[in-house]
Amino acid sequence: MQFPERFSNLPEYAFPRLRALLDHHPAGGEVVHMTIGEPKHKFPAFITDTITQHATGFNKYPPNQGCPELLGSITGWLKRRYDVAMDANTQIMALNGSREGLFNSCLALCPEHKNGHIPNVLIPNPFYQVYAVATLAANATPVFVSAHQQNGFMPDYASLGEETLNNTAIAYICSPSNPQGAVASYDYWADLIRLAEKHDFYIFADECYSEIYRTTPPVGVLQVANEIGADPERILAFHSLSKRSNLPGLRSGFVAGGPKSLVKLKQLRDYAGAPLPLPLQMAAAAAWDDENHVIENRAAYAKKYAIADQVFGNIKGYSSPEAGFFLWLPVEDGEAAALKIWQTTGVRVLPGEYLARPTIKDDPAKGYIRVALVAPEQEITRGLKAIRACLYEVV
């Protein structure tokens, strides 16, 4: 059996690759896990109660696109958060985690050809790996656009040539970004929307970290699109409860966009989707309806931002994240740094290059490591101080 050629050049996924790098070396101290972005804060207690209350729903096939309660809660949240009115029945679809939507939307909406060419899909570099595999599954051409510090860690899609842009079908963008914690400004979104209108491509906005920020809520693509009068079919926004509500195991997210686009997504999901069980949909609805636990969660991350700034604030090249829960720390070589930290201190971090692709022009992530701020404060403090002593302090 031959592996499909379109997937033949996929590198090994980041975490098996990390295990291969580290696990045959002994830890240099008590192990501290700072690799995977799996929230460790408590999820709201009412989630368990809601699941129990609606447990008889496990005896039913769940609504494929989301039950009325969940869709209503999502549209209510979008109105409160972004002052955008969306139709629950035609512009929203519940997802079994946002990754499902980020993948399947590319399959549903990417054409086989554009202007007589295999279409391009623009991808920020580094990036969430599902963007690339979705592009390959759709038989499109990935175009990796580096996000450098001098550009605020946001990709400059407008710098691409006319031919590339004219043949582009989709542009993925993550804000707040993973791994750098950068936030797309109002002007960035507006310029990207106008670029998409000029060259006729979709914007897939991955906003799963939108509720973890310092003081100012990140502006959302739907908000900007609504205010500048953009075509709602041009944009899909993806959100999740994994980070906002510390519920990665609930596997609940949603996609919001134009009615015509949603028809195509729903049709594909009728055949290939895996809807969330009804009790979990009801729990998700309760989570979207409540902001108190989100405020508490954000406050907990604010303390971790402060710890990080205290530890690394005077390090050359350190960029304090605007949002999200990762540090993107500058090093000479990401793999060498991750291995040194592990062997010296027992702290596990992720080499930046595992989240990116080298291009002809550059390798935008080789000189970084990603550090997740998801562990308890005491553990975070110990881990960050160990990283600093190992990499940045000359004895």
Residues recorded for the chain: 395
- The residue with tokens 């609930």 is 250
pLDDT digits (tens, 9 = 90+) for 155-183: 999 999 999 999 999 999 999 999 999 99
Q: What are the φ and ψ backbone dihedral angles of 95, each rounded to 5 degrees?
A: -125, 155
Task: Give Rg (Cα) of the chain.
Answer: 21
Please report how many Cα atoms fall inside a 13 Å half-sphere around the Cα of residue 113, on the Cβ side: 3
Closest Cα to residue 380, out of 308, 286, 332, 330? Answer: 308
pLDDT band at 395 (very low <50, low <70, confident <90, very high): very low
Domain boundary assignment for the chain: 5-42+293-391, 46-290
| Cα–Cα distance for residue pair 75/62, rounded to 1 Å | 19
At 312-362, the pLDDT tens digits run 999 999 999 999 999 999 999 999 999 999 999 999 999 999 999 998 889
Per-residue pLDDT averaged across 232-246, rounded? 97
Amino acid at 77: W
In this structure, the strands spanning 347-348 and 32-33 are parallel
pLDDT one-digit tens code per residue, 192-219: 999 999 999 999 999 999 999 999 999 9
Compare 190 and 395 and report the one with higher pLDDT.
Answer: 190
Architecture of domain 5-42+293-391: Alpha-Beta Complex (3.90)
CATH 3.40.50.720 applies to domain 46-290: no
End-to-end CA separation in angstroms for the chain: 55
User: What mean pLDDT comes out for the span 115-143?
Assistant: 96
Residues 38 and 374 sit within 8 Å (Cβ to Cβ): yes
Please answer whether residues 98 and 208 qualify as being in contact, where contact means their C-beta atoms are separated by less than 8 angstroms.
yes
Instruction: Name the β-bridge partners of 123.
Output: 144
128 near 100, Cβ under 8 Å?
no
Name the average pLDDT for the chain. 95
Instruction: Name the 3-class secondary structure at 99.
Output: helix
